[in-house]
Amino acid sequence: MRASIVAIFTNYPTGKLVHFCGHEVLTGSNNNIWFPIFDEITLFQEIEKIMISCRVAHNVTHIERIRRGDNENGYFEDYRITYNLAV
């Protein structure tokens, strides 16, 4: 079965991070888990690796950027991630 989730990707001088929104495992107990992203070019693979490691997804099928914003520290992007649920 397929599902989708929204994730926020940030690119700041202090690092590149991704935060998943509204998921009991991926957001953490206080909704404050930010996973490091090591290579923005392979964002699809990095997100898929996180979701598989957390036993949330069998695989990621699609990532769609839905919003981008800039601020004084860098930029952020919101993504809709479609994935097949882990069995």
- Alpha-carbon distance 87 to 85, whole Å? 6
Handedness of CA 46, 47, 53, 57 (dihedral sign): negative
18 three-class SS: strand
Give alpha helix (H) positions in 1-87: 43-53
In this prediction the pTM is 0.88
Contact assessment for residue 51 and residue 57, using Cβ atoms and an 8 Å cutoff = yes
- Quick: pLDDT tens for 8-49: 999 998 899 999 998 989 988 888 899 999 887 889 999 999
In degrees and rounded to multiples of 5, residue 38 shows phi and psi of -90, -25
Name residue, tokens 């992203």. 37
